[in-house]
Amino acid sequence: MTFSDGIGLFLMLAAMAALPSISVMLVVSRTLSGGVKQGTMVSLGIVLADLLYLLLAIFGLTFVAIWLEQYWWLLQIMAIMILILFSYQLWQTRQSNTVIATRKECNTWASFLAGFTLTIVDTKAIMFYLGILPIYLGSSDITLSSLLMLLITTAIAVASVKLVYVFLAKHVQQHIAVLQKSYRIMSVILFLAALWLIVNMALSKIN
């Protein structure tokens, strides 16, 4: 893998990470309700899930793929519960002093787990890492240096974009009027995402 390949991969990953998605909404909503730390932990969870899919794409880790397929329903249920919980928390957050109280109650690892779980069940991530990325990498052998370059490039590209969203959400917090509307909008979006996952689960069971 050449340096130019790394640049191309970085730009492609950054563009994918910047696209509006459940993970982006989660990063923004957790930053609004829990502060920068919570948004950052969500971002780290997303990065870890992306790295897992990258390893799956490179090495074809069969046992991990089988485990994910076997417990896919459980991951989806976890994602639905997380979305509904965070949606409820956002809907209940109305005043700036409530934001401070919410921050104290936020569980840092819950934010990390939320970012990881929602990325694992994100069809966009699955399509990219298991569909597009193998085609981009081609049939060339992956050396240790190439592997390290892929991991570092992926981590930096995804993390940098998500942290930009954290910064933007933090900036919105300074404008109370905009913030109150943002809580409700993000709450509805997260709830609709949960409904979409429920419908998707039901359709997969029928088929």
Query: What string of pLDDT tens digits covers the 207 residues of the chain?
Result: 677 778 888 888 888 888 877 888 889 888 887 888 999 999 999 999 999 988 887 776 555 566 666 777 777 787 788 778 777 776 776 544 444 444 444 578 888 988 998 888 887 787 788 777 776 666 556 778 888 888 999 999 999 999 999 998 887 766 655 556 666 777 787 788 788 878 877 887 776
**DSSP letters of 81-116?**
HHHHHHHHHHHH--SHHHHHHHHHH--HHHHHHHHH
**CA-based torsion, 139, 145, 150, 153: positive or negative:** negative
Query: How much is the pTM?
Result: 0.75
Residue 9 has what pLDDT?
83
Residue 157 has what pLDDT?
93
Q: What Rg do the C-alpha atoms of the chain give, in angstroms?
A: 18
Residue 97 has what pLDDT?
44
Residue 88 has what pLDDT?
78
Residue 64 has what pLDDT?
59
Residue 163 has what pLDDT?
94
Residue 104 has what pLDDT?
46
The answer to whether the beta carbons of residues 161 and 18 sit under 8 Å apart is yes
User: What is the rounded distance in angstroms from the CA atom of residue 82 to the CA atom of residue 73?
Assistant: 14
The answer to whether the beta carbons of residues 118 and 23 sit under 8 Å apart is yes
Residue 68 has what pLDDT?
65
Residue 87 has what pLDDT?
77
Residue 164 has what pLDDT?
92
